[in-house]
Amino acid sequence: MTEKELQTLLEDMTLQEKIDQMFQVVGMFYIKDNTGIESGPAQELGVTPEDFDMAGSILGITGAQRLMDVQKRYMKKQPHHIPMLFMADIIHGFRTIFPMPLAQGAMFEPELSEKCASVAAKEAAVSGLHVTFAPMCDLVRDARWGRVMESTGEDPYLNSRYAAAMVRGFQGDDMKAPGKVCSCVKHFAGYGAAEAGRDYNTVELSEHTLREYYLKAYQEGISAGAGMVMTSFNTLNGIPASVNRRLMRDILRGEMGFDGVLISDYGALRESVVHGCSADDREAAEKGIRAGVDIDMMTGVYSANLKSLVEEGKVDEKLIDESVMRILTLKNRLGLFENPYKDADPEQEKEVILCGEHRQLAREAAQKSFVLLENDGILPLDLKKKTAFIGPYVESRELISSWAVTGKTEDCVTIREAVEELPDMENVVFCADATDLDKAREAAREADTVVLAIGESYRQSGEAASRGMLDVPAEQMELLRAVSAVNGNVVVVLFNGRPLDLREVKERAKAVLEVWFPGTEGGHAILDVLTGKVSPSGKLPMSFPYCVGQVPVYYNHFSTGRPQQKGADAGYVSRYLDIPNEPLYPFGYGLTYTAFDISPVALDKKEMKTGEKLTARVSVKNTGKTAGTETVQMYIQDVSASVARPVRELRGYQKVVLEPGEEKEAAFEIDEAMLAFLRDDGTVGSESGRFRVWIGSSSETENEAEFTGIFED
C-alpha cells in the first residue's frame, strides 16, 4: 500500500479499532476455545473479549498452518481486514539453535552472526512469524545478571558491530523479502546495568555513562534499520523506561532517529504502577502514549483506558494516530496487506527447518565460540589413549539455553553421540551420572585422560535467573574433586550462560574449554575442538571475575586517582585487601593449540592532524606446530582529556589464520572518529593530546606505542 492509502485506512478506523491495533496478547488465546476468555484473561486485563478478537498482534505461538489459520479467522472479523502481526523470541535460532549470544560474542566475528540470524529468520518466516524480539543490545558488566547470556558482552564497540550485523541478518535489505523478519532492538535503555545484577531492578547511570557506553549498540541496531524497539523494565533517572518521555521521545526518536514501532516489554506499562510512577492503569496508559509506546504487550492498560482518556480530552487522538500509523507501516513493510501469510508454508517448513546446511552453520558457529581458558599440553585429545568422558553433560541434550524458546532439546547432538560416530572408539568409556562418585572415580582411575563435562544448568541463566554466587554447582564441584584426586589429567568442558568463578576449576584441571550453551550441533563442535580437528579460536567477550566480590568487573574502566600499579605493594591505592583487582580471565583472552608471536607496534607517523589517518601495524607469526587463528586486538587510550577516559578501549580487531611458521601483517587504520568521545561540554568530538595504542592477543597486552593528536577545535 502507498502512504496515502495507509492514511486513508487510518482515517476510516474507529477509535477503539485503532486502540486495539496497539494491544498485544499471547497467542495461546487464539488456538484454544475462546468461550472462557470473558471470565478469564479478559477480566484479569480489564478488557472485553472483543478486544482480544481485534488485537493487532500476538506473540509466542509458531507453526505455519496454525498461524495461517489464526490470520484467516482474524481478518474475517477485522472490520478493515487488517492483518495481524505474529511475534516471538527468536534469540539465537528458531529450531536450528546457534550458540547463545554471549558465546557468539566470543567468535569476534559479527559476519558469522549475521549468517546465523539470517538462517533463524528463514526458519521463523517459513513457520509464519513476522517479528523477532532480537537482538538484545544491552551492555553487560555484571555476571550476576542472568541475561548476560543474551548480550554479546561488555564492550560497546564489539556489541555495536554485533547489533548491526544481527539486524541485517534478520531483516536483510527489505524485510518484505522471502525469508526475512522484522528485528526488534531491546531493551531500551540501560537494562544491562541492573543494580546488584538483580533482574528487573533499578538502573543508576550517569548521563555520561549512559551515552558514552550503553546507548551505542542500540544506536547501531537502529542505524542498521531495525523496524522495532522494545522498552526495558528498569527505571532510568527514577522513571520506568516505558513511561519515560524524555528517553523515548527525545533520545530514541529525536536524537537517535528511530521512526519504527516501539513496543513495551511484557507487562511493563502496568509495572509503572508498581514502580510508584503511575497511580493506576489509567495514568499508566496516559504516560505510555505520551512517551510514544506504540504497542502494549500483554496488559489491558491501553485497550481499557485510552478511549475514555481521548473522549475526556486528556489524550490527543493524534498521539494514537501516530502510533497506529507506525504499526500499519510496519505491516506494510512486511508486505502483509498484499500477502497476510507472508512466507508461512507448511511444506517449505518441513524442508527448511534443521536442514543440513543450517546444522553445518550451527556447528561452525559453535566451534568458533569456544574459548580455551587453560591447556597444559593435554589438548588436543588423543583418543587412542584410554579416555573417560565423565559428567552430566556427556549425554545431556540441554545445550540450547533458556532463551531458545522455539528450540527442542531432542534436536541436539550430545558429546557421547559425537564420540560414537568416530571409528575405533574401544578405548573410550562414558560415565554420565554426576551423583555416582564411586563409579566416576573408578572410570577416572583406569583412564589416561578424563574429559569432565560440567557446568550450570540452562535454567540458571536467562531472564529471572540472577545469581548471588557464581560458583559451578556444588554437586559438580564434588565430581571434579573426586575425579582429579585419582587422575591428574583432567580436561574440563564447561557449560554455562555467564562468567563463573573458576579458581578451583583452574587449579584442578590441566585444560578448561569454555563451550557456553553451544546449540543444536554442540556435541559435534565440542569433539571437533577437543580432538584438534578445529583449533579453538574464541576470545572472551566478558571478563571472568576472580570471585563474585569483584563484580561488576570490566576491562575498560577508569584509572581512578590512586590506581594500583602492577607489581607494587603500595598502601593507599584503589585495591582490595584480600583479592586482586584483575579478573581471573580478562576480556579478549583465549588460547589456541599453537603459539603466536606479535611484533612491537609500528606507527607510520607520530602525529595525526585533523582530517588525517594513522596506521598501526604488527607482524603476527605462528611459532607453533599446528595451524591456528589469532584474533589480534587494537586498544586505544586518550591519555588526558576534558573528562576521564578508560584505561583502554577496543577500537579494532582482525582474525589472522596462519599455518606453522607462517607470518602475516595486521594493519589497523586509526582516524579521528575513533578518538571521539562525549566531552565535558556535552558535545561529541576529539581533543588534542597524547594517545596510547596497544595491539595484542587480549585486553591485557602491553605491546604499546604512542602518538600525538593535533585537532582543530
Smallest Cα–Cα separation from 603: which of 689, 668, 697? 668
Which grid cell sits at 707? 602518538
Rounded to whole angstroms, the Cα distance separating 117 from 401 reads: 16
Find the DSSP H helices in 353-457: 356-369, 415-420, 437-445
DSSP codes joined into one string, 455-511? E--GGGSSTT---S--PPPHHHHHHHHHHHHH-S-EEEEEE-SS----HHHHHH-SE
Q: To the nearest 10°, report the CA torsion of 470, 472, 475, 478.
A: -120
Dihedral of alpha carbons 697, 698, 699, 700, sign: negative
Is-cis flag, bond preceding 380, omega within 30? yes
Beta-strand relationship, 228-231 and 235-236 = unpaired
* Residue 636 β-bridge partners: 649, 693
Contacts of 173 (CB under 8 A, 6+ apart): none
Query: How far apart are alpha carbons 498 and 87 in whole angstroms?
Result: 27
In DSSP notation, 551-590 reads -S--SS----SSBPPTT---SSSB--SSS-SS-SB-TT--
CB 666 within 8 A of CB 690: no
Residue among 89, 142, 265, 343 flagged as catalytic: 265
Complete DSSP assignment for 193-210: GBGGG-TT--B---HHHI
**CA nearest to 604, candidates 687, 665, 686:** 665
Q: Is the dihedral of CA 393, 199, 154, 214 positive or negative?
A: positive
| Residue from 66, 64, 1 nearest 27 by CA | 66
> Maximum CA pair distance of the chain?
81
The closest alpha carbon to 430, from 466, 483, 394, 405, belongs to 394
Contacts of 124 (CB under 8 A, 6+ apart): 62, 88, 90, 94, 132, 181, 406
Q: Which residues in 256-275 are b (16+ Cβ under 10 Å) and which e?
A: bebebbbbbbbbbbbbbbeb
376 is catalytic: no
Q: How far apart are the first and last CA of the chain?
A: 48
Q: Which of 709, 692, 712, 707 is nearest to 649 (CA)?
A: 692
Helix and strand counts by DSSP (H, E) for the chain? 22, 27
Q: H-helix or E-strand containing 112?
A: helix 110-126
At 356, list the grid cell: 543440513
Q: Where are the beta strands (DSSP E) in 367-448?
A: 371-375, 387-390, 428-431
Residue 147: DSSP 8-state = G
Report the C-alpha gap between 52 and 28 in whole angstroms.
Answer: 11
CA distance 323 to 294: 5
Please identify every residue annotated as catalytic. 265
